[in-house]
Amino acid sequence: MKKAKYFLMAIPILLLVSGCLTSQDAFYEENDIVVDDRLVGTYGDKIVNPQSSSQFSITKDEDYYHKGRYYITITSGQDCSMKFAAVSFQIGTNRFLDLLPVIEPCDRIPANPPSMIEILQATTIQPMHMVVKVDANTNGVGFSFLDNAGLMDLTKKYPEYFRLKTDEMPRMVPDTKRQREFLLRFGSDTNIFKVINIKREK
């Protein structure tokens, strides 16, 4: 029972980083993008100790030309946070979020010319796209994700969709067409995409 409790408390982080499908290329094409502002809100666990709590918020990208685009900010504890640019898209009858980490320089102010931190980030950090299945409603959001065991099983059964290296977690081939084909083929499979529903805080 204790293990199950701690698992539920860690949901906001697990949804986005544990066993997710990743690739160098986006998982969508422009025609796949959909607007779903029901996603907007704040979600998190209810932990007594605030230093151990996790929370994430979804906000709209207010740029008129970026419809269907959002920002997700994950906060763990008091001082640790990570931000993702998120695109809502639909493949077949299923909706997903394509998440790309937003790399922010330590000085927080873009420099001209670029600062040393910006140069180092550009040359050493390669942001990866992650995809999570999503089902938004008025009460909250259902996220469907893969655990690590499920991801490894998929790579054995369908190696044509994955690029495998011994020194890293499996990632999908950098081919948007092939990635869309995978989501169309398996997006409704509840044995692959396992859902967790989270209620909205505000």
Provide Rg for the chain, Cα atoms.
Answer: 17
**N- to C-terminal Cα distance for the chain?**
28
Token output for 140 = 């909250």
Q: What secondary structure letter does DSSP report for 141? A: E
Q: Is the whole model's pTM more than 0.75, yes or no?
A: yes
Angle at 193 between CA 189 and CA 199, to 5 degrees: 125
Predicted confidence (pLDDT) at residue 6 exceeds the cutoff of 70? no
Report the sign of the C-alpha dihedral through residues 106, 111, 115, 117, in that order: positive
Strands (E), 9-112: 21-23, 41-44, 54-60, 69-76, 80-91, 94-101
- Where in the chain are the domains? 2-199
Return the higher-pLDDT residue of 78 and 49: 78
Are 137 and 38 in contact by the 8 Å Cβ rule? The answer is yes
pLDDT digits (tens, 9 = 90+) for 11-51: 444 444 456 789 999 999 999 999 998 999 888 754 444 55
What average pLDDT does range 166-195 have in this prediction?
Answer: 87
